[in-house]
Amino acid sequence: MKKVIISIICMSFVLLSVPAMAQQMTWTTKSKEAKSLALAGAKHMMNAEFAQAYPDFSSAVKLDPNFTVALVYMANLSYGQTRKDYAARALESAKDKTEGEKLFASTVDPTLKADGRRPIWEKLHKMFPDGKVLANLYVQTRATPEERFAAAEDYIKKFPDEASMYNTIAYYCMQDKKDNAMAKQNFEKYISLYPDGCNPYDSMGEFYLNTGDTTNAEKYYKMALEKYPFNSSSVDALQKINDSKKK
């Protein structure tokens, strides 16, 4: 994920934003480093690499405790009271930010259920149609598999080189359409566009496990662990494969 950004020095802080022509949500922060970390974390989140995203956002919040976008992500990556605390901080931090950031923070309001958040993601997507991150969240929060698939197809038309959405399409083909040929094609596209991530190989491992090819499943899960040794999904899958061999 890449964004074109400009820096504007204003009073005692730096406002990081995109050019006026691009309809993307502003990420207001005091720190360029925090912005870079948050962008890296967002890429991990889009690729379901949550363990890798956590230290990125955690470090961003340490650099700028009032960084609304990073606080929202920390709330989503946390549980229990910690989640509530980050949500409260995100909502408080957004009070003096842009309308987009206020809306973004409102998605972690603890009083909202999934149905209550869905219109917010839709509104954000309409407000900032050029934002890859928001568009990805819009796709993932659609109510039905069919709606997610249609939104994912629109996403790929606009952002054909964004790897994560091919993963979404592939899972839809595999789980809902039962079209393994198209699923494999999209998982392969995912790997080709994001070869350094661990999730593309984990996803391909799940594809082969789902189709009964444990040899290739094991191969790809091991490849995922070569990219990130602590990927729990791959570790658990390999353990299950090993356990089944012993029976």
Where do the structural domains in the chain lie, given as residue ranges? 6-141, 198-247
What is the greatest pairwise CA distance in the chain?
68
pLDDT in tens, 151-176: 999 999 999 999 999 999 999 999 99
Nearest to 151 by CA among 135, 139, 137, 161: 139
pLDDT of 56 reads: 98
pLDDT at 2 over 70: no
Q: Is 50 or 3 the better-scoring residue by pLDDT?
A: 50
Token representation of residue 210: 């789902």
| Angstrom distance (rounded) from CA 166 to CA 187 | 7
pLDDT of 157 reads: 97
| Angstrom distance (rounded) from CA 227 to CA 184 | 20
| Residue 105 neighbours by CB distance under 10 Å | 24
| Angstrom distance (rounded) from CA 234 to CA 200 | 11
pLDDT at 11 over 60: no
For the segment 106-129, the average pLDDT, to the nearest whole number, is 95
For the segment 68-84, the average pLDDT, to the nearest whole number, is 97
- What is the CATH architecture of 6-141? Alpha Horseshoe (1.25)
Residue 197 amino acid letter? G
**Sequence-ordered list of residues with C-beta below 8 angstroms from that of 184, at least 6 positions apart, any chain:** 170, 207
pLDDT at 8 over 50: no
For the segment 129-143, the average pLDDT, to the nearest whole number, is 96
Q: Lowest-confidence range among 5-9, 18-22, 55-59, 130-134?
A: 5-9
Polymer length in residues for the chain: 247
pLDDT of 86 reads: 98
pLDDT of 16 reads: 38
pLDDT of 246 reads: 82
pLDDT band at 247 (very low <50, low <70, confident <90, very high): confident
pLDDT at 119 over 70: yes
pLDDT in tens, 170-217: 999 999 999 999 999 999 999 999 999 999 999 999 999 999 999 999
| Angstrom distance (rounded) from CA 6 to CA 31 | 13
pLDDT at 17 over 50: no
Nearest to 11 by CA among 25, 26, 23, 28: 28
pLDDT at 3 over 70: no
For the segment 9-19, the average pLDDT, to the nearest whole number, is 33
